[in-house]
Structure 1
Amino acid sequence: MNEFTFNTRFKRALKGESLDMVPVCSVTQTGTVELMEMTGAYWPQANYDASKMAALALGGHEIAGFENVRCPFCTTVLAETLGCTVAEGSIDIQPYVTDFPCKKKKDVKNISVPDSLLESRRTSVVLDAVGILKEHVGEDVPVVAGLVGPAGLASMLAGMKNYLMWFVTNPEVVEELMGTLNEACIEYANGLLERGADAVTLIDSEAGPDIIAPQMFETSVFPLYRKFCREVTGLKILHMCGDATAVLDSLANVGFDGISIEEKVSVSFAKEIVGNRVRLIGNVSPSDTLLAKGPDEVMIEARACLEDGIDILAPGCGLAPHTPLENIKALFRARDEYCSL
C-alpha cells in the first residue's frame, strides 16, 4: 500500500518535502483524440460542456494514468469572456481567437473586469467541470485548473503585433492592459480554487524571453505576478513555453509553488538557478518526443529529466491531440523503473 495518495504526493512535491516517488502529472492540457474516442467526450463540445469537459479530463487520469486531473483544454476561456471573438475549433484543433477588441491604443481604456466574470459562457463551464471533477476524485487525486496569464491575454486582446509594438513604443499602454487582465486572472483563479481545484496553472508564455526582453519582464510583468501570487489563495504553478532560462531567477522569487518548463530549458541548469525556492515541472517534449517518437524514446527523455532532478515529471507543454496513448504511459514506466532502483 502506498504511503501517499496522488494528491498528497503532488502537494508534497510542490512543497519540496520527502516523497516515496516522483509524481507523474500534467499541469497543461491533456485532451487527445484517443482519449476522446475512449471517453465519448470530443472537442469542440468538451470545451463548452462541463460534463464532457470533466469526462475527458478524467480520461487523462483513469485511462492515460496521469496522477492528477486537469482542465480545460484550451487557452481562450478568459480571452472570449473579455471581448475576443473565438472559433470553436474541431476534434483536433483547439478554439482560437479570430478577432480582438484592442485594435488601437485607446481601446485599452474600454477593457474592464465584468461583474459577471465567473458567470460567463466560458468560465462557468470550467468552474462547473472543476466541481464535477472534485466530487468524482475526492481528496485522493489533485485537480489542476489552467488559465492564461496577463501577458498571454494582452497578446490576445490586442493582437500579437500590437502587443509587441506597444511594448516598445508605449509600454504604459500594455502595462495598463495587463494590470486589468491580472485582476481578472486573480478573480478567476480564486474561483477555480473555491470550486475544488487543488492548484492553478497560470499559462503565460508571452511574458517569456522568447517573446519579450527579460528587462521588459522585470519592469512590466514581474510586479503583476507578485500581486497574483499574493492574492490567489492556493497552490500556484506558472507555465512558460520556450527557453525561460533568462527569467528563472526572478520567477523563483515571485511566489509560485512550481514552474512548468519546456524542453528548451535544461533541468539541471534550471535547478542550479532556482535552488530550493521553487519546484520544477516538466519537461518531456510534447511535440518532438511524445507526439513524434516511440515509447522507448519517451522513456529515455523522461529518465534524463528524473536524473537531472525534476520535481514533477510531466510533458513540457500541452499534449498534441494526436499524441499516442502508449507514449503517455511510457512516462510512468520510466518513473517506476527509476524510482525502484
Structure 2
Amino acid sequence: MPTLTAKERLLGVLQKQPVDRPPVICTGGMMNAAIVDVMQRSGQTLPAAHSDAVLMAGLAAAVQQYTGFENLGLPFCMTVEAEVLGSEIDLGTLECEPKITREAFSSAAAVVYKDIPTMLSSGRIATVCQAAAILAKQHPDIPVIGSLTGPVSTAASIVDPVQFLKDLRKDPVSSHRLLDYVTGFLIAYALALIDHGAAVIAIGDPTATGEILGPKMFAEYPVVYINRLIAAVHQKQVPVILHICGNLSSAKHLLPAFKADAISTDAIVNLKQLKDEFPGITTMGNISTYLLEYGPAEKVALQTSNLIADGVNIISPACGLSTSSALSHIRAMTSTVKKE
C-alpha cells in the first residue's frame, strides 16, 4: 500500500476503505488537546486564541506538531454556539477552559428565537471559520476537523440544564421546537466550516447520553436531531464523527440508528465488544483521559497497543483532556500508533 497522508488515512477509514494503520486524532471542541504543556512550549496560548483566527490557527498547528495527532482540531472549547445563542461566557485562562456563567433562558418555552443567518456573523463563528481556512491552506495533507457541540448539549447550554431536562419530559412541544431551532443553527455553522476547509465534522454531545435521558428519550431527541445534522453534512460529501459520553448500556441498541461515519466512546465502553456486537460501526477511542493525565507513559502505550490489536478503527482520547495532561503521555499514544 502506498504511503498515505494523514488526511487520506482518516478519510479512508471514514469511508470504510482499507488503510495502512489506524489514524490517531483528537477532534477539538469537547476533546480539546490545547494542553498547558503545548502552550508553554509553543508560545501559542489561550485565552487569546479563542478570539483571534490567526492565533487560533497557530495554536491548532502547534497542538498537531507537539502531540503528533494527525489532524487539526477547532475550536478549543464547547462555548462558541452557546455564546452566539445568547448565554454569557467566561473565556477562561491558560489552565481553565471557557465555561458558561449564565444560560440565556429559564426554560425551553422562554427561548427567544434569532435569525440564523445573522447569528453566523456574530460571536466567534467567523473566527473559527477563518482559522479553518488558514489551516486548510497551510496544511493540505492534514485534515481540518470542525468540532460542534451537539443539539441536545447546545440546547442545555442556553436553557438552565436542570429545567431543560425536565422540559424534555414535561414540555415536549417546546423542547422539540428548541431542538429544531438549535439543529438548524448547527447545520448552518457546520456548512460554513466546510466552506472554509473543514474536511471532517465532529459532533460532541455529552448531555445526549442514555445514562441521562434513558432509552426512550434518547431515541426521541438525540437520534432524531443528530441525524438531521449529519444528513446535512453528508449532503456536502463530508464525513461525520459522533462522540457519545458515558455508559452506553441502556441505549446501546440505538447506536446503529446514528448515521455518523464513526462513533467515539468514553473509556468505560469496551470497544472490542462494541465492534463484535455491531460490526458495521466504525469505532473511535478510547484511551483513558485519566491515564493520559497521570500516566505512566508505559501504560498509555500498552492501552494503545491493545486498542489497535482489538481492531479499533481510529485511536483517540476517550473524552476531553485535562489541560494539565502531560505531553509525554500523549506522545506515548501517538508514537505507539505510528510504530505498530
Structure 2-normalised TM-score? 0.94
Aligned length: 334
SS at 2:147 equivalent = strand
Letter in 2 for 1:191: A
* Corresponding residue of 1:331: 333
Kept in 1: contact 2:47–2:91 (CA 8 A): yes
Alpha-carbon distance in structure 2 between the residues aligned to 1:63 and 1:145: 20
* Corresponding residue of 1:100: 103
Distance 1:107 1:128, change over 3 A: same
* Corresponding residue of 2:192: 191
1:115-134 deviation line (CA, Å, top 9, x unaligned): 22221121111001101111
Kept in 2: contact 1:100–1:158 (CA 8 A): yes
Q: Does 1:40 align with 2:43?
A: yes
SS at 1:162 equivalent = helix
1:83-127 deviation line (CA, Å, top 9, x unaligned): 10101111111111111122134312x123432222112111100
**Deviation of residue 30 (structure 1)?**
1.3
* Corresponding residue of 1:90: 93
* Corresponding residue of 1:266: 270
Distance 1:246 1:310, change over 3 A: farther
Kept in 2: contact 1:23–1:312 (CA 8 A): yes
Kept in 2: contact 1:249–1:273 (CA 8 A): no
* Corresponding residue of 2:147: 146
Q: Does 1:307 align with 2:309?
A: yes
Kept in 2: contact 1:24–1:66 (CA 8 A): yes
Alpha-carbon RMSD: 1.6
Distance 1:45 1:214, change over 3 A: same
- Structure 1: unaligned runs, 5 residues or longer: none
Letter in 2 for 1:170: D
**Deviation of residue 254 (structure 1)?**
2.4
Letter in 2 for 1:178: L
* Corresponding residue of 1:230: 231
SS at 2:181 equivalent = helix
Within a 5 Å distance, the mapping from 1:151-300 to structure 2 comes to: 151-232=152-233, 233=236, 234-276=238-280, 278-286=281-289, 288-300=290-302
Alpha-carbon distance in structure 1 between the residues aligned to 2:12 and 2:107: 46
Alpha-carbon distance in structure 2 between the residues aligned to 1:328 and 1:188: 30
Same amino acid, percent of matched pairs: 27
Q: Does 1:19 align with 2:19?
A: yes
Distance 1:11 1:107, change over 3 A: same
Alpha-carbon distance in structure 1 between the residues aligned to 2:176 and 2:295: 41
Alpha-carbon distance in structure 2 between the residues aligned to 1:187 and 1:309: 35
Letter in 1 for 2:170: T
* Corresponding residue of 1:54: 57
- Structure 2: unaligned runs, 5 residues or longer: none
Distance 1:112 1:319, change over 3 A: same
Kept in 2: contact 1:249–1:274 (CA 8 A): no
1:268-323 deviation line (CA, Å, top 9, x unaligned): 121123312x311110011x200012110111211221122210111111221111
* Corresponding residue of 1:126: 128
1:159-191 deviation line (CA, Å, top 9, x unaligned): 211112112222222222111100011110111
* Corresponding residue of 2:82: 79
Kept in 2: contact 1:82–1:113 (CA 8 A): no
Alpha-carbon distance in structure 2 between the residues aligned to 1:315 and 1:86: 26
